[in-house]
Amino acid sequence: MISVTLVGSGNVAHHLAQALDLAPEVQFDLWVARNPKAVDLKVNTIVSDGLGDAIKSQIVILAISDDAIAEFSASMSPSDTLLVHTSGSVNLHDMDKKHSRGVFYPLQTLSKKRSVDFSTIPICIEALERKDLDLLQSLAQSLGCSSKIISSEQRLALHLAAVFVNNFSNQMYRIAHEITDSERLDFDLLKPLILETAAKVQYLSPFQAQTGPALRKDRKTIKRHLKQLANENHRLIYEILTKSIQQTHGK
In order of their start, the domains of the chain are 2-150 (3.40.50.720), 155-248 (1.10.1040.20)
Q: What is the pLDDT of residue 53?
A: 55
Whether the predicted model's global pTM rises above the 0.85 cut: yes
DSSP 78: P
Give Cβ neighbours of residue 222 (< 8 Å, ≥ 6 apart). Answer: 213, 214, 242
Q: Taking residues 229-251, report their average pLDDT.
A: 93
pLDDT tens digits for 157-198?
999 999 999 999 999 999 999 999 999 999 999 999 999 999
Q: What is the pLDDT of residue 181?
A: 95
Q: What is the pLDDT of residue 63?
A: 94
Q: Taking residues 73-82, report their average pLDDT.
A: 87
DSSP assignment string, 188-221: GGGHHHHHHHHHHTTTS-HHHH--SHHHHT-HHH
> Coil, helix or strand for 153?
helix
Residue 241's φ and ψ, nearest 5 degrees, are -70, -35
Q: What is the Cα–Cα distance from 172 to 168, expressed in whole angstroms?
A: 6
Q: What is the Cα–Cα distance from 121 to 105, expressed in whole angstroms?
A: 10
Q: Write b or e for each residue in 125-150: b if 16 or more Cβ atoms lie within 10 A of its Cβ, otherwise e.
A: bbbeeeebbebbbbbbebbebebbeb
Query: Which own/partner pairs from 154-159 qualify as long-range (CB within 8 Å, at least 24 positions apart)?
Result: 155/88, 155/89, 155/103, 155/105, 155/124, 155/126, 156/88, 156/89, 156/91, 158/88, 158/107, 158/124, 159/88, 159/89
pLDDT tens digits for 26-55?
999 889 888 777 777 788 787 777 776 557
pLDDT tens digits for 199-222?
999 999 999 999 999 999 999 999
Give Cβ neighbours of residue 151 (< 8 Å, ≥ 6 apart). Answer: 126
**Proportion of the chain above pLDDT 70, given as a percent:** 98
Q: What is the pLDDT of residue 144?
A: 94
> Coil, helix or strand for 59?
strand
Spatial CA neighbour of 243 closest among 229, 222, 220: 222
Mean predicted lDDT score pLDDT of the chain: 91
Q: What is the Cα–Cα distance from 141 to 119, expressed in whole angstroms?
A: 9
- Is the per-residue pLDDT at 148 higher than 90? yes
Residue 228's φ and ψ, nearest 5 degrees, are -70, -30
63 in Cβ contact with 86 (< 8 Å): yes
- Is the per-residue pLDDT at 15 higher than 70? yes
Spatial CA neighbour of 72 closest among 142, 160, 151, 5: 5
- Is the per-residue pLDDT at 251 higher than 70? no
Q: What is the pLDDT of residue 45?
A: 80
Q: What is the pLDDT of residue 9?
A: 86
Residue 102's φ and ψ, nearest 5 degrees, are -160, 180
Q: What is the pLDDT of residue 19?
A: 93
Q: What is the pLDDT of residue 154?
A: 96
Residue 4's φ and ψ, nearest 5 degrees, are -135, 140
